[in-house]
Structure 1
Amino acid sequence: MAGQAFVTLATNNNYAKGAMVLGKSLRNHKTSRKLVALIGPRVAETSRAVLRKIYDEVQLVDVLDSGDMAHLAMMKRPDLGVTFTKLHCWTLTHYSKCVFMDADTMVVSNIDELFAREELSAAPDPGWPDCFNSGVFVFQPSYETYRKLLTACMEQGSFDGGDQGVLNSFFSDWATADISRHLPFIYNLSSIAIYTYLPAFKQYGHNAKVVHFLGKLKPWDYVYDATSKSVKGQTSGMQPNYLLQWWDVFSSSVVPLMKEEYSEQPFYTACSEDNSHVEAAQMQLSHPTPSLQISSQERKQRWEQGHADYLGMDSFANIEKKLDSFLK
């Protein structure tokens, strides 16, 4: 239906990879709805080009940051401040109803039936079930709602420093008002919950429709061996089968699109089949051009604002090197 859409958000190139897999997984499971990707200014043009091949609409939005470092520090997740940008999804008023999905989710079955639900429908959060998890929710775009959400942000802030705190405060009657707005957990199956209540996963996990890779480590942080179809290293806190499914979609459906866009420059997908590109990419990350050098104070400020240079000096590989040298 032209009037309904799945919506996601990518504020940097890593989450853009997640959005690519999410979009492909929705396409693979034959959704009949439009696909919309909201992107921040830090998403590179090459990533935007790949997203345009998957999504019907790719829209650049300003990054809204909560500035609430106290609560984000308490959660040990300063990067979550930029998730306030998610509120832009209420401005998509050319759609009558939408389903928002975080870029670290993946569908494993068709979920078009969610459009029969009303705003705000969401699944319970595994950490506090009287709160909903804002990784998947049904909403109705409205400028009035958007303005009210921004006002709530400015006047009350967020109890967790992120969008989930704001949305739970704004839609405060979710837990008690209408059970039809409670999505079954299979629509937002947390990779963390799999390990905290394994018997339930064994009983109901085969019904999962959406997998949410919660936590600091994301699927794209791992290295995938395309030959053996295996992920290298420990996969703590993440169900291996779902992680492999994510990488299967990425390597088979996304990497070919990336190669088309990166045909004249090296790139690193973390697939072992692309090892020929790794050395050049790592050299580029380890030795940024002088124009990209910034002071330690500015770098600290960017980290505090959730704007770490994840593809450059703040990449996982570089941070790991610094930790190794420190520990030695």
Structure 2
Amino acid sequence: MKTYLLPRREAYLPLVAGYASHPHNRRTLYNALIIVFSIGLNLFFVVSYYNRPQPPPPLRQNPLDHYQGLNTFPLVNQDTLSKSLSSRTFNPEEHAVVTTLYTDAFAPAVATLGHSLRKANTSARLILLYLPEKVSPSALCVATSSGFVAQPVARIPPPNNGEGAHPHFLDQFTKLTLWKLDQQGIKSLVYLDADTLVRRNFDELFTFPFNFGAVPDVYLDDNGFILGFNAGVLFLRPSTTVFNQMVSQIATADFPHLEAEQSFLNHYFGAEAVRLPYAYNGNLAIKQRAPEMWNRTAHERRIVHFTLAKPFLMGDYERVPWYELEERVVEVAGYEDGAYKEETMWWGEMFKEMKHTYAKQLHKCFRHSSSRFSASSTS
């Protein structure tokens, strides 16, 4: 019989334990773990670096982005203007400032705009074009309290039932009705969006010899200052013939629909429009894009356009109750770390002044109304 000798129990250890028990082998294992950890950590940082949010590319620059204020001459030649306004051929009744109202939400803005026009001593008629099916009697009463004369107009629908247009611009083709005002003896007019505020008289525009003029637009993206114009402030000479032609071409003209009537007008008048100075459309986008230009041209600014901050609206173009408007102004003044505080407070002060000046008229607007406007805050 063969005898099998078994190894002593204490001599048996698992392979790995035996490997690690040797000092040299243990150091090798630790070094391998450190290398693996280091590689993993480096891979993590490399992947994180390339997956990090990338900063936007630098905006394309043009001279207005580096405005230096080199030109110190006045915007308007006063001698020529005085002769034109004093001429026997200048009749204030033949000129108008026109705005529009398609929703109750803008009624306080229209009233405030009207008061700012009166303070600027414009010589022109004040006309408000409104959609009777969309504007309540109380809102219309408020909008006309400071001097605008209301005229109902028919809505001009957007092409393709508004497909591709911004939802807030679906009524804006109604603006083309401006060209029919020649039927009321108006020879020239300045159109102002309701979200504008007049800071200084601009009657010189009524002596303008051209048929159409507007201020070049400005964007915060790479488009920047462009040749195309903003339709929030327009100078035009009404013509029913032009109106009929424009309306007949809306459905077939080849233009991007997103910006609605502004895009259409840029295509219709693009080659003929005279570009007005930025003083006539102080778009808040200018302040954001080129603050130096905004500050240095402030003394000539006639009109401020509240494109980026609307003190009289809340949320998605929602109406602010009358009694909450002053509180809303303070709230909007804090937007963007107060970037538009000064201009927003201008509007707020003009609104409060308007309420006081036309308190009796405003009280009548609320007396028999169930509107969300409050009669308790008209004084």
TM class, shorter-length = 0.7 to 0.9
Residues 75-127 of structure 1: CA deviation (Å, up to 9, x unaligned): xx311121111001111112111111111111100111111222211110013
- The runs of at least 4 consecutive aligned structure 1 residues that moved more than 6 Å come to none
1:182 counterpart residue number: 275
For the aligned residues, what is the CA RMSD? 2.6
Given the superposition, is the C-alpha separation of residues 174 and 160 from structure 1 closer, same or farther in structure 2, using an over 3 Å criterion? farther
Equivalent position SS for 2:93: coil
Structure-1 separation of matches of 2:325 and 2:140: 23
State whether structure 2 residue 46 is matched by structure 1 residue 46. Answer: no
Residues 27-81 of structure 1: CA deviation (Å, up to 9, x unaligned): 1111111000000121111122233443353111122221454432xxxx31112
Gaps of 5+ in 1: 176-180, 276-328
**Percent identity over paired residues:** 24
| Matched ranges for 1:95-106 at <5 A | 95-106=186-197
State whether structure 2 residue 253 is matched by structure 1 residue 142. Answer: no
1:14 counterpart residue number: 105
TM-score, length of structure 2 as denominator length: 0.63
State whether structure 2 residue 292 is matched by structure 1 residue 168. Answer: no
Residues 213-271 of structure 1: CA deviation (Å, up to 9, x unaligned): 114x5220265547xx9612532396212211112222221472433310244655699
1:58 counterpart residue number: 150
TM-score, length of structure 1 as denominator length: 0.72
2:307 counterpart residue number: 214
Residues 145-172 of structure 1: CA deviation (Å, up to 9, x unaligned): 0011112212116424411111111102
Structure-2 separation of matches of 1:232 and 1:60: 34
Structure-1 separation of matches of 2:326 and 2:109: 18
AA paired with 2:277? P
Q: How many residues align?
A: 262
Query: Is the 8 Å Cα contact of residues 13 and 43 (structure 1) preserved in structure 2?
Result: yes
Residues 290-316 of structure 1: CA deviation (Å, up to 9, x unaligned): xxxxxxxxxxxxxxxxxxxxxxxxxxx
2:342 counterpart residue number: 241
Structure-2 separation of matches of 1:267 and 1:274: 13
AA paired with 1:71? G
| Matched ranges for 1:23-38 at <5 A | 23-38=114-129
Structure-1 separation of matches of 2:339 and 2:196: 13
Equivalent position SS for 2:230: strand
Equivalent position SS for 2:330: strand
2:228 to 115, 131, 134: 131
Query: Is the 8 Å Cα contact of residues 159 and 251 (structure 2) preserved in structure 1?
Result: no
Query: Is the 8 Å Cα contact of residues 66 and 157 (structure 1) preserved in structure 2?
Result: no
Residues 258-292 of structure 1: CA deviation (Å, up to 9, x unaligned): 33310244655699x849xxxxxxxxxxxxxxxxx
Q: Radius of gyration: which is bigger?
A: 2
Query: Is the 8 Å Cα contact of residues 189 and 210 (structure 1) preserved in structure 2?
Result: yes
